[in-house]
Amino acid sequence: MTTTRAYEEIIDFIAAGTSPDGVVAFHPSEEAKARVAELIQREKASSLSPDETAELNHYLQLEHLMRLAKARARAHLAHE
């Protein structure tokens, strides 16, 4: 598994700039999904390190923001 944090994909996506269509179309990679799933599974077993807990929390916060951004982008596109 890559050492890149799963949430870095979202950060890179935002930093590169995009359009409402791009926001709606964004999906994390399979690697990122697998990493988050692994962290969630291990969290349930209470075996995350503090760094892993922070990684998961960052991803979950950014995922929430992306959901809000997608909803706003869809609304924007509907009014064009």
pLDDT tens track for 44-62: 998 899 999 999 998 899 8
Q: Please enumerate in sequence order all residues whose Cβ is within 8 A of that of 48, keeping only pairs 6 or more positions apart, or say none.
A: 39, 42, 56
Indicate if the pLDDT at residue 2 is higher than 50. Answer: no
Compute the average pLDDT of residues 20-42: 93
Q: How far apart are CA 9 and CA 22, in angstroms?
A: 14
Count of beta carbons in the 10 Å neighbourhood of residue 27: 9
Q: Could you give the 3-state DSSP secondary structure of residue 17?
A: coil
Mean pLDDT of 16-38: 92
Domain boundaries, given as residue ranges, for the chain: 8-78
pTM for the full predicted model: 0.78
Residue 46 vs residues 12, 34, 50, 78: alpha-carbon distances, Å? 30, 18, 11, 44
